[in-house]
A and B are shown apart, each in its own frame.
Chain A
């Protein structure tokens, strides 16, 4: 990734202008998002909420560079994502975005250490440097004693913590999470949410999560409500 288009450190890390997204089923256009304008400041913690089909996962995918809009512009972490080709976008994701998925999405044939190491394999770091970073990430999620365990040998909560470690191991500016507690019991869900809160408060990570769970949304500092592909309202969470 080159540094072209990098914004000053202060200000919004995510800037969406008139974003639209449609899917096509043969000749039928299915609009999902319409004219979304949104700015998320660096270090913010936002929860995207709304009923099923409201477009929240689509919006998260656009912010994370997983999908491309059919209209509008989006700048994330200083890059105009529309200007990046697929390879550049892949490199950008590796460098700037950490992903946390509902079902953890760990690679079953790799142990916890190797799963966390995966994004670093693209970084050009030496084996020793990678080891240090992986151990540090696993320490942050309190799983250093399980680094040689395979996903099948871990509980759901532990698996999600490994996924969090994988998301932060490259020290990305932005963490995106799609229903990160959707597959966890309340105790493990609370642990993961507290961990994400710490990442936001202590390490200054910008976090955007998609959730249906009001408890999970309550950990965020802002809630963005979507309704039928439109931005409905943004609420500041009082705690």
Chain B
């Protein structure tokens, strides 16, 4: 941290000085704006290159954001997931029926008229054909009727919910676009039998929109499972969560562990790490190119305005005023490109896509989610590009010997 601060300190000091220079120094910013406009073609070409890079940057961030939204909106603060110790994910977990029965009457569970609020569930994956002709694993979740009520973000759009014992499934709307044969009324084959699609649901952008739901006992039978994967438990309040997790951890009969539902899904957001790494790599390469494009444009600007710089210096403007002026010109150029790129990225907002989670080996559907914060990050990113790309040309402009500058 200290080293990072040491590295960033000169950068931040320079940034603060530039802001101060903008207010205190006399070369008007309109001079830079008009100079940029005078070289329309070069300015627009560079701004377009910056816009492209920033657009890609924002879209890449929006992928990670979409994935994060999918997982984070899946969990509730007052719910816990009970798993086998060290399982980390439901797919790796197994809980025998007798232990589930102990959990279902746990005194810390919230209760309503029907009794304790919890749902014993099983999770399996099954290969499904995608609309583009490839295949991808899909998570099949078997759950109790309570499990649906415990996920308030889930809403039935068409048809009805599945009934136990009838081999029925409900599918998310998002998956219908990406996988073939998931239309309402059709049958899908899995676990050696045909399952009728009786309903279509949405789940508010959460990760449940990547799962097919059915009755827990039907799924266990079809996939020959003797144990559940997890138990979803509702507590009276979020404050009871530490008490519940401690109680489960310390119960010698259970030998299970409990984790907050929200924390569990947060862990799953790591599925976005490969996207983020790849995106960062692409962005880094493009950014380097964009910084050089900005640098090239500004060097050309300095070269074509050498005499102008000489005149300004001759009539009394100081070197640091020239430095600040040209640095701001580069920042404005890149900022304009960055703003355009951020706006263009909006076209990707809401587009559905998916990835394979390396934790669950199954498909995760999510949407590009472009937020105002991401757009601001894009603009800030472009300003940093302006700062980096503009520094050397601005420094050069301020350091041209006066007698040379006046010759042009």
Contacts and interface: CB of A to CB of B under 8 A. Distances in A.
Interface string B139-178: 0000000000000000000000000000000000000000
A90 to B, nearest CB: 5
A22 B403 CA distance: 13
Given A107-B308, A107-B311, A110-B31, A67 B403 contact: yes
Contacts of A107: 31, 308, 311-312
A61 B404 CA distance: 11
Given A61-B403, A66-B402, A108-B38, A87 B318 contact: yes
A109 B35 contact: yes
A105 B317 contact: no
Contacts of A118: 312, 315
Interface in A187-239: none
B133 interface: no
B84 interface: no
Residue from B26, B307, B314, B403 with most neighbouring chain A CB atoms (10 Å): B314
Contact of A86 (B38, B315, B318, B406): B318
A46 interface: no
A93 B314 CA distance: 7
A93 B316 contact: yes
Interface residues of B, number: 23
Contact of A66 (B34, B314, B319): B314
B315 A110 contact: no
Nearest to B407: A57
Contact of A121 (B28, B35, B319, B406): B28
A86 B316 CA distance: 10
A109 B316 contact: no
Interface in B275-327: 307-308, 310-319
A99 B314 contact: yes
Contacts of A82: none
Contact of A90 (B27, B37, B318): B318
Contacts of A95: 316
B39 to A, nearest CB: 10
Q: Chain A: interface residue count, which band?
A: 20 to 34
B41 to A, nearest CB: 16
A119 interface: yes
Nearest to A88: B318
A66 B315 contact: no
Contact of B316 (A61, A67, A122): A122
Residue from B26, B27, B315, B317 with most neighbouring chain A CB atoms (10 Å): B315
A90 B38 contact: no
A226 B38 CA distance: 42
Contact of B317 (A64, A66, A110, A122): A122
B251 to A, nearest CB: 76
A54 interface: no
A4 B402 CA distance: 25
A177 B403 CA distance: 14
A113 interface: no
A103 B313 CA distance: 16
A100 to B, nearest CB: 11
A149 to B, nearest CB: 15
B28 A109 contact: no
A87 to B, nearest CB: 5
A113 to B, nearest CB: 13
B315 A119 contact: yes
Interface string B257-271: 000000000000000
Nearest to B36: A109
A161 interface: no
Contacts of B318: 86-87, 90-91
Contacts of A64: 314
Interface in B89-135: none
Contacts of B406: 66, 101, 105
A103 B310 CA distance: 13
A56 interface: no
B316 A94 contact: yes
A133 interface: no
A86 B37 CA distance: 32
A215 B319 CA distance: 38
A237 B317 CA distance: 36
Given A66-B403, A67-B402, A107-B308, A86 B319 contact: yes
Given A105-B307, A109-B38, A119 B31 contact: no
Contacts of B37: 109
Interface of B: 26-28, 31, 34-35, 37-38, 307-308, 310-319, 402-403, 406
Q: Which 8 A-B pairs have the closest CB atoms?
A: A94-B316, A121-B26, A109-B34, A105-B311, A119-B315, A90-B318, A122-B316, A93-B316
Given A107-B31, A109-B31, A119-B316, 13 more contacts: A64-B314, A67-B403, A87-B319, A90-B313, A91-B318, A101-B311, A101-B406, A103-B307, A105-B308, A105-B406, A108-B38, A121-B28, A166-B315
25 contacts: A61-B403, A66-B402, A66-B406, A67-B402, A86-B318, A87-B318, A87-B319, A90-B317, A90-B318, A93-B314, A93-B316, A94-B316, A99-B315, A101-B311, A105-B307, A105-B310, A107-B31, A107-B311, A108-B38, A109-B31, A109-B34, A109-B38, A118-B312, A122-B316, A122-B317
